[in-house]
């Protein structure tokens, strides 16, 4: 059995940047589309936001040799919940080059099969390799940083269950944008409580967002789109962003073009439904 080296990083969890900034091949990281948000997979969770080690994610912003007058370290401002393969983050990074952004993804192991393929390999099917979706995103970011020096330093990914642990990662009023792109619809009514947008969870998202911050949601499932819009409308801490503002926002275009899911929807000629709301403060009674 020959081990191919077409896959950057390999299955051993090595973190070195791929040769010459070669981007990781997506097809070696195929994932199941769904993962159970109720199960506690064994990933480490920070006890509190103070424990989050940003220097691991954004090394350029946390140099080891800080001078005396080093400015206070920046905070993460954008969070992409369920970032999948990282498409949105890659699209956002150049638009906001000095804003730290993080993708949060739950999905665990990915089983890939390397088939013989005329393009890169020769020989027979080689081996099953287990890689993580978040590993793919990390590799992608490292590759981009290597081939575009000075760029993509502001994005990173973490594997976690954002439905349970958002307050562990972010302080009160820390985020200015939150993204929920094509979340799992959980069609069955008994599974509605697993939806990532719900009245209950909006309390927590409102807590980590600053007043004026914006929450972006998009889906191609009409019923889910109505559900998300209705939850946001009912929630006292969010109000709809007016159409003119949505049209003027450069981020909105990315929602329906930047990610694999959105590209698939476009290919199939599907419709998308977005709900974009602003975090407001409650009027005192």
Partner 1 sequence: MEDTAIEEAEVSGAAEFAPALIASHPHGNSVAVAIGPELRVFDLKSGSPVSLSDDCGGRSHADAIRAICFGVSGALFASAGDDKLVKVWKTDSWRCIRTITSEKRVSAVAISNDDLYVTFADKFGVVWLVTLGEDGAEQVSVDNKPVSILGHYCSIITSMKFSPDGRFIATADRDFKIRVTLFPKNPVKGAHEIQSFCLGHTDFVSCIAFTSMSENQSFLISGGGDSTVRLWDYINGCLLDTCQVRDKMGELLEQNETDDSSLAVADICPSNDGKLVAVAIQSFNGVMLLACDLVGKKLSFLKVITMEKSYIPTSLASSFSSEFLWTVMGASNMPNQASNQLLTRLRIIPRFQKDLISSDNGPLILEDSEVPHGEKLLLALQGSLDIAKQEEVLASVLSALKVSMHKMLVKKHYSEERREQRKRGRNDKKIKN
Residues belonging to the binding site for S-adenosyl-L-methionine are: 82, 105-106, 161-162, 181, 259-261
SS3 helix, strand, coil % of the chain, rounded to 5?
35, 20, 45
User: Alpha helices, DSSP H only, in the chain?
Assistant: 54-57, 87-92, 133-147, 162-169, 199-208, 222-234, 243-248, 250-255, 260-267
Does residue number 75 form part of the binding site for partner 1 (CB under 8 A)? no
Q: Give me the helix-helix angle, 162-169 and 199-208, nearest 10°.
A: 20
b/e per residue, 228-251, with b = 16+ CB within 10 A? bbebbeebebbeebeeeeeeeeeb
Q: Indicate whether 168 belongs to the interface with partner 1 (CB under 8 A).
A: yes
Return the residues of window 44-73 that contact partner 1 according to CB under 8 A: 47-49
The closest alpha carbon to 278, from 206, 213, 189, 190, belongs to 213
What is the DSSP pairing of strand 209-219 with strand 273-279?
Answer: antiparallel
207 binds partner 1 (CB under 8 A): yes
Looking up tokens 């307050």, which residue turns up? 167
Find the part of the chain contacting partner 1 (CB under 8 A) among 78-86, 89-97, 149-157, 167-175. Answer: 167-175
Instruction: Evaluate whether 170 touches 49 at the Cβ level (below 8 Å).
Output: yes
Select 136 or 180, whichever has its Cβ closest to partner 1. 180
Using CB under 8 A as the binding criterion, the count of chain residues that bind partner 1 stands at 24
Measured CA to CA, the distance from residue 262 to residue 229 in angstroms comes to 19
In a 3-state reduction of DSSP, which class is residue 150? coil
Specify whether the CB–CB gap between 154 and 58 falls below 8 A: yes
CB of 203 to partner 1, least distance (A): 5
Parallel, antiparallel, or unpaired: how do β-strands 76-81 and 155-159 relate? unpaired
Residue 65 falls in the annotated catalytic set? no
Stretch that binds partner 1, among 42-50, 105-113, 216-224, 248-256 (CB under 8 A): 42-50
We find the least distance from the C-beta atom of residue 200 to partner 1, in angstroms, to be: 4
SS3 state of residue 108:
coil
Of 46 and 74, nearer to partner 1 (C-beta) is 46
By the rule CB under 8 A, 285 interacts with partner 1: yes
Annotated binding site: 82, 105-106, 161-162, 181, 259-261
80, 108, 153, 184: which one is catalytic?
Answer: 184
User: What's the closest the beta carbon of residue 158 comes to partner 1, in angstroms?
Assistant: 17
- For the CB of residue 57, give the shortest distance to partner 1 in the complex, in Å: 20
What's the closest the beta carbon of residue 275 comes to partner 1, in angstroms? 18
Q: Name the one range near partner 1 by CB under 8 A: 2-10, 114-122, 198-206, 222-230.
A: 198-206
Q: Does 239 bind partner 1 (CB under 8 A)?
A: no
Does residue number 204 form part of the binding site for partner 1 (CB under 8 A)?
Answer: yes
22, 30, 164, 274: which one binds partner 1 (CB under 8 A): 164
* Residue located via tokens 């948000």: 37
Q: Which residues are catalytic?
A: 184
Residues near partner 1, by CB under 8 A:
38, 40, 47-49, 163-164, 167-168, 172, 193, 199-204, 206-207, 235-237, 282, 285
């Amino acid at each position: 059995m020959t081990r191919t080296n077409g896959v950057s990083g390999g299955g051993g969890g090595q973190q070195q940047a791929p040769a010459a900034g070669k981007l990781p091949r997506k097809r070696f990281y195929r994932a199941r589309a769904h993962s159970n948000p109720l199960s506690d997979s064994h990933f480490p969770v920070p006890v509190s936001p103070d424990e989050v080690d940003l220097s691991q994610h954004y090394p350029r912003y946390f140099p080891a040799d800080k001078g005396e007058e080093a400015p206070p370290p920046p905070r993460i401002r954008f969070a992409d919940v369920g970032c999948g393969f990282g498409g949105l983050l890659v699209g956002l990074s150049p638009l906001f080059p000095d804003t730290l952004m993080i993708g949060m993804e739950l999905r665990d192991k990915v089983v890939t099969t390397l088939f013989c393929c005329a393009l890169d390999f020769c020989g027979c099917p080689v081996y099953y390799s287990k890689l993580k979706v978040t590993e793919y995103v990390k590799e992608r970011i490292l590759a981009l940083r290597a081939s575009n020096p000075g760029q993509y330093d502001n994005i990173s990914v973490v594997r976690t269950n954002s439905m349970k642990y958002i307050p562990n990662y972010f302080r009160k009023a820390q985020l200015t944008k939150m993204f929920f792109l094509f979340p799992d619809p959980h069609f069955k009514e008994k599974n509605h409580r697993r939806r990532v947008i719900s009245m209950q969870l909006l309390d927590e998202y409102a807590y980590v967002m600053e007043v004026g911050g914006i929450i972006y949601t998009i889906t191609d499932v009409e019923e889910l789109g109505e559900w998300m819009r209705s939850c946001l409308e009912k929630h006292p801490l969010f109000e709809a962003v007016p159409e003119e503002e949505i049209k003027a926002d450069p981020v909105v275009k990315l929602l329906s073009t930047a990610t694999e899911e959105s590209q698939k929807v476009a290919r199939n000629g599907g419709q998308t439904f977005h709900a974009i709301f602003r975090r407001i403060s409650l009027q005192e009674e």
